[in-house]
């Protein structure tokens, strides 16, 4: 595997690296080159939102079949990318499937190397993790963070336990990764999952945190809007179930957020 893009060495073992979503130049080039409308189709965790954030053109996330006519009316330009969990039959549109959005093994390796801060350790586990997840971006990111929480000498054995899990990988890993977060990280996730996004000023105004930063894989900084952090759509339902807020708390939080806009 090619490791030239990953600036981590074995001297970083044991340190928790802060990592951004990996670059996907092939897919971005395809979006640039495709004429007209492009439809990205895949379930939660397929990497649609992250790819859209890295692309510089006009895009709409979370599209349903009922939305299409109105979206096309509002965006009549020559290029538009739509992200959806449904099959959208749009004449002439270029279709990009979940299979095409999946990571290659080298990309799985890059995610692990960033999570571990250790290229050599990532190289050992990447093939097995890639097979286990089928390269599904959300699962790769989730498993990478969970493995990074484990003692380095136990990671291979812990990875094998995932293959024996009696429930889905996401259902198994989300509670485990949440449990490994600090109290401050959990509180950030608990509140941000109900908001469209925050920056440091907004986080301070809402008394969410004084140290706003990414919490992989649940909180990501927007490439399009540096300094702003969001919970990707693919994680929201699971995190709301794992870190619940009462309806009254959600209402107050959203009211305070709207009041400061």
Nearest-CA neighbor of 130 among 105, 102, 95? 105
In this predicted structure, what is the pLDDT of residue 202? 96
Distance, in Å, from the CA atom of 185 to the CA atom of 32, rounded to the nearest integer, reads 36
How many angstroms separate the CA atoms of 95 and 98, rounded? 10
Q: Residue 1: which pLDDT band, with cuts at 50, 70 and 90? A: very low
Across 168-192, average pLDDT? 95
- Residue 19's pLDDT is 56
Question: What are the pLDDT digits (tens) for 30-77?
Answer: 999 998 999 999 998 999 998 999 998 999 998 999 999 999 999 988
pTM: 0.87
82 in Cβ contact with 88 (< 8 Å): yes
Asked if pLDDT for residue 2 goes beyond 80, the answer is no
Mean pLDDT for the chain overall = 89
Which two three-digit tokens encode residue 191?
């509140």
Interhelix angle 119-133/137-148, rounded to 10 degrees, is: 140
pLDDT score of 254 more than 70:
yes
Confidence check: pLDDT of 174 > 90: yes
For 97-138, how does the pLDDT look when each residue is reduced to its tens digit (9 = 90+)?
A: 999 999 999 999 999 999 999 999 999 999 999 999 999 999
C-alpha distance from residue 44 to each of 138, 157, 170 (Å):
8, 27, 10
User: Which residue has tokens 């709409």?
Assistant: 60
Q: What is the mean pLDDT of residues 190-202?
A: 96
Residue 15 pLDDT > 70, yes or no? no
High-pLDDT (> 70) share of the chain, %: 92
Q: How far apart are CA 111 and CA 167, in angstroms?
A: 23
pLDDT at 16 exceeding the cut of 80: no
Does residue 190 have a pLDDT over 70? yes
- The confidence score (pLDDT) of residue 125 equals 97
Residue 10 has pLDDT above 50, yes or no: no
d(CA 17, CA 117): 5
| pLDDT score for 43 | 92
Residue for token digits 């024996």? 164
Q: How far is CA 125 from CA 9, 50, 129, in A?
A: 15, 24, 6
Which residues are paired to 59 by β-bridges?
81
Q: How much is the pLDDT for 234?
A: 87
Q: Please say if the pLDDT value at position 17 is more than 50.
A: no
Helix or strand run (H / E) with residue 91: none
Q: Are 61 and 49 in contact (CB under 8 A)?
A: yes
pLDDT at 20: 64
Strands 79-84 and 36-41: parallel
Residues with Cβ within 8 Å of residue 93, at least 6 apart in sequence: 36, 37, 38, 39, 82
């Amino acid at each position: 595997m090619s490791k030239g893009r990953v600036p981590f060495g074995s001297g970083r073992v044991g340190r928790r690296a802060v990592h951004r979503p990996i670059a996907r130049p092939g897919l971005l080039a395809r979006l640039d080159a495709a004429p007209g409308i492009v439809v990205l189709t895949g379930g939660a965790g397929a990497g649609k939102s992250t790819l859209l954030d890295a692309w510089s053109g006009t895009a709409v996330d979370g599209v349903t079949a009922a939305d299409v006519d109105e979206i096309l009316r509002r965006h009549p330009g020559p290029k538009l990318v739509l992200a959806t969990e449904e099959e959208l039959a749009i004449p002439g549109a270029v279709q990009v499937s979940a299979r095409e959005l999946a990571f290659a093994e080298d990309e799985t390796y890059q995610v692990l190397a960033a999570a571990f801060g250790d290229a050599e350790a990532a190289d050992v586990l990447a093939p097995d993790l890639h097979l286990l997840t089928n390269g599904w971006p959300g699962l790769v990111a989730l498993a990478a963070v969970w493995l990074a929480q484990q003692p380095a000498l136990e990671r291979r054995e812990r990875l094998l336990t995932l293959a024996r899990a009696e429930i889905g990988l996401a259902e198994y890993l989300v509670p485990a990764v949440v449990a490994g977060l600090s109290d401050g990280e959990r509180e950030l996730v608990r509140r941000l999952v109900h908001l469209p996004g925050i920056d440091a000023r907004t986080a301070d105004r809402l008394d969410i945190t004084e140290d706003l930063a990414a919490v992989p894989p649940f909180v990501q900084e927007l490439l399009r809007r540096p300094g702003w952090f969001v919970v990707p759509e693919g994680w929201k339902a699971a995190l709301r179930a794992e870190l619940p807020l009462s309806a009254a708390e959600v209402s107050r939080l959203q009211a305070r957020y709207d009041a400061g806009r």
